[in-house]
Structure 1
Amino acid sequence: MGAMSVRIDITGLRPDQVAVVPSPLAELGMALHTLAEPQHHPGLQGWVTGVTARLEAHLADRMCEADFLWRTTFSDLFLPYAGLPGATALPGATLAEELDLLDKLSDEQFVAAALEFTCALPYSDPGPGPLADAALRRRALELAAARGPQQVRFSERLLTDPPLIRAWLRQFLTDCDEAFFAETWSRLRHQLAADARHKTELLRHKGLAEALAAVSPALSLDDAARRITVDKLGEGRTATADSGLLLVPTSLGRPHLMVLHRYGWHPVLHYPAGPAVPAAPPSLDQLTLRMSALSHPVRMRLCRSLARSAFTTSELTHAHGMSAPEISRHLSVLKKAGLVSTRRRGRYVYHQLDVTTVARLGSDFLESVLR
């Protein structure tokens, strides 16, 4: 398996076109993601428990209706300013302002972004959306069917009546703000503003390379080639062109470093601010088993899928072009190492990576060789 990365062409990018701005809508997206996948964020268990305990049943039910928009990581719909034409689109100061920006996306943009995780649409390349392409629309509904009746209903309504779903989503996000997010944002926004000021100072006085190094060690700048490379288990490309580069800090989003590289949208780096949370290492035998399980290139590729969502063996067979017995054999190795969990929903059996365990492997290894 060769090196994989997302590349951002920054030819012609001026220093004044790089902005670091917190986004309440992006942070609400990460809040919903954390509530849907708390194991991605072990340091936020207390916050998750507190919010869940006082969540009204009606809002919790609505949260399940469209959770594919934020469960896998989160949808580009939470960064709508990146889809707007012109070089000056930035996050709003308030959630209401950003919901107004979301309303400015076209129906085509909204539907394509909403179906990203269901439909596997072309992401970095041009192409028609599911509103215009009947084959894509059929494929989206077939994939939704594998996820259950709730996702089928949502996808059908989205494709049939985008304005209805857009109004639903805006009302839902407003209700989440009133129920729990306004209080959370009032605490987080000062930390995120401070981080944005710090990165902006680095940009101004030290340059883009220093600022990117402070954002994440996974980012590197090749000044001669005018390219930023993001070390990711995925391929992608985008360009700043005349639109600039936006960096959005998140407190709830650790450890996710996300790159918006959708065709026709401005590039955005959505990066974790604040310290990581340490955890106790496993036994040396467990550690050896886990690292050995992850050393196989096919299992590494499977982990890329399983880290983002739960998949059936059949879905993995289709996505990776392998036979069901091959997939099952690799899943068995990952499960024996305690890296993959399995759960049944109706007649489907879903597998998912235990990202909390995988996230600890680096520090686990270091502590094991030092003790």
Structure 2
Amino acid sequence: MGVHIDIAGLRPEMITVAISPLAELGMALHALSEPEHHPGLKGWVTGVTARLDPHLADRMCEADFLWRTTFSDLFLPFAGVPGGAVPPGETLAEELDLIDKLSDEEFVDAALEFTCPLTYGTPGPSLLVDAALRHRALELAAARGPHQARFTERLLNDPPRIRTWLRQFLQDCDAAFYADTWSRLRHQLAADARHKTELLRRKGLSEALAAVSPAVTLDGAAGRITVDKFCAGPGTSADSGLLLVPTSLGWPHLMVLQRHGWQPVLHYPANSPELVAPPSVEQLALRMAALSHPVRMQLCRSLARSAFTTSELAQAHGMTAPEISRHVSTLKKAGLITTRRRGRYVYHQLDVRVVARLSGDFLEGILR
């Protein structure tokens, strides 16, 4: 399980780290639309929301599907500019200019990628030229409510008009709240980018990726990067290079841009409060499955209070020792119980700290 980036044959100098004011604005809009995803930003969200102009707030709702579910690839336009790898702009205005370099087909497909998912990661016809895909996109938009239905219809009928609308909206957000936010965040992000660049230069890609997140690993022999997620993406090739972009507002989201024909981008939270060694999604799924059985839930109730031998558990729960052993083995394999020997007896006990972290691990895993 996870998302893969093929880097076989990729030269080291083609892996770069850079900050993006437009990508961070996308995360700011996402945090404002989904504050429950980002409890650590509660103060910032409350402050921005309190002073937000009502007209701008209404416009934010008009197209929030571009950043509510996650944020659209439109906020990473440098990855899709024709002609190869293009670095992010140094200013928001420069990056808005990069959006203008995308074709209408790319602009529309990127805008609807999450909420009207028809094709992603593989080549296919454009929504602007394929009548069947257009009809399906409008159906999916209507199912998500009148705001998205109206916006999607306008987008498909007149992409240049929506380009103008989006640019003006983002400029207004910059004037209303984002310029101040970016002035505070860009120094931190730039420092993180310099640190990761230095790791790349001095210690190599494996060390740099380990510093990005424990959920990102490198298989050097296979020439592949794996991002541990509760999904299996189609995979992507980094023929044109790989770009790492830090975000200060993004935790717990760890995202991979893998659109066909675009440069892969790993968008990662800088200075994230992740555990030193968070469980993989495979371990997390194992733990959730282990706890889902009613007998094992009853065993956990006992093991949370004290340590017990297999025989004691069998007697207390009216089961045979082999039956108890199978359930205990499942809990132990999932990392939920500890075992210690005292003389000729083996005692089992629930690892309460692991169970207490489970909800946080699960939330981080599904939002990653």
Q: TM-score if structure 1 supplies the norm length? A: 0.75
Where does 1:160-171 land on structure 2 (aligned, <5 Å)?
A: 160-171=157-168
Deviation at 1:275, TM superposition (A): 3.8
| Residue 240 (structure 1) aligned to one of 231, 238, 241 | 238
Point out 4+ residue stretches in structure 1 off by more than 3 angstroms.
290-296, 361-364
- Asked if 1:41 corresponds to 2:33, the answer is no
Distance (Å, rounded) in 2 between the aligned partners of 1:295 and 1:136: 40
Q: Which residue of 2 aligns with 1:69?
A: 66
User: Mean alpha-carbon deviation: is it higher for 217-226 or for 181-190?
Assistant: 217-226
Say if 1:41 and 1:293 are closer, same or farther in 2 by CA, change over 3 A: farther
Return the match for 1:136 from 133, 136, 142. Answer: 133
Q: Distance in 2 between matches of 1:102 and 1:155?
A: 18
Calculate the aligned-residue CA RMSD, in Å: 2.1
Which residue of structure 2 lines up, in the alignment, with residue 146 of structure 1? 143
Contact persistence 1:258–1:270 (CA under 8 A): yes
Aligned partners of 1:55 and 1:220: how far apart in 2?
41
Which residue identity lines up with residue 239 of structure 1 in the other structure?
S
**2:91 paired with 1:120:** no
Equivalent residues, number: 289
CA-to-partner distance for each residue in 1:223-256, whole Å, 9 max, x for gaps?
1111111111222210011x11000000000110
How far the C-alpha of 1:122 sits from its partner, in A, is 1.4
Tell me the CA shift for residue 21 of structure 1.
Answer: 0.3
What is the rounded CA distance, in whole Å, between the counterparts of 2:236 and 2:192 in structure 1? 25
Larger radius of gyration: 2
Structure 1: distance between partners of 2:290 and 2:4: 29
How far apart are 1:86 and its partner, in Å? 3.0
Q: Displacement of 1:97 after TM fit? A: 0.4
Unaligned runs of 5+ in 1: 279-289, 297-356, 365-371
Kindly state the Cα deviation for residue 293 of structure 1 after the two structures are TM-superposed.
9.7
Question: In the alignment, what sits opposite 1:199?
Answer: 196
CA shift in 2, pair 1:52/1:20, >3 Å: same
Aligned partners of 2:274 and 2:227: how far apart in 1? 23
CA contact (8 A) 1:119 1:136 kept: no
Q: Percent of counterpart pairs with the same letter?
A: 74
1:82, 1:266 within 8 Å by CA — same for their partners in 2? yes
Cα shift at 1:85: 2.3
1:180 and 2:174 equivalent? no
| Cα separation, 1, equivalents of 2:106 and 2:44 | 33
Match of 2:96 among 95, 99, 104: 99
Q: Kindly tell me: are residues 269 and 361 of structure 1, through their superposed partners in 2, closer, same or farther at Cα, counting changes over 3 Å? A: closer
* 1:253 counterpart = 2:250: yes
Of the three residues 79, 82, 85, the one matched with 2:79 is 82
Written as runs of structure 1 = structure 2, the 5 A alignment for 1:46-65 is: 46-65=43-62
Q: SS at 2:129's partner residue?
A: coil
Matched, 1:226 2:219: no
TM (norm. structure 2) is 0.75
Judging changes above 3 Å, is the alpha-carbon distance between structure 1 residues 8 and 295 closer, same or farther for their aligned structure 2 residues?
Answer: farther
User: Residue type of the partner of 1:233?
Assistant: F
* Superposition deviation, residue 87 in structure 1: 3.4
- Gap runs ≥5 in structure 2: 276-286, 294-356
Contact between 2:85 and 2:263, CA under 8 Å: does it hold in 1? Answer: no
- State the shift of 1:362 in Å: 6.7
* 1:198-237 superposed Cα distances (whole Å, 9 cap, x missing partner): 0000000000011011101111111111111111122221
Say if 2:31 and 2:249, in contact at 8 Å, map to a contact too.
Answer: yes
Residue type of the alignment partner of 1:188? L
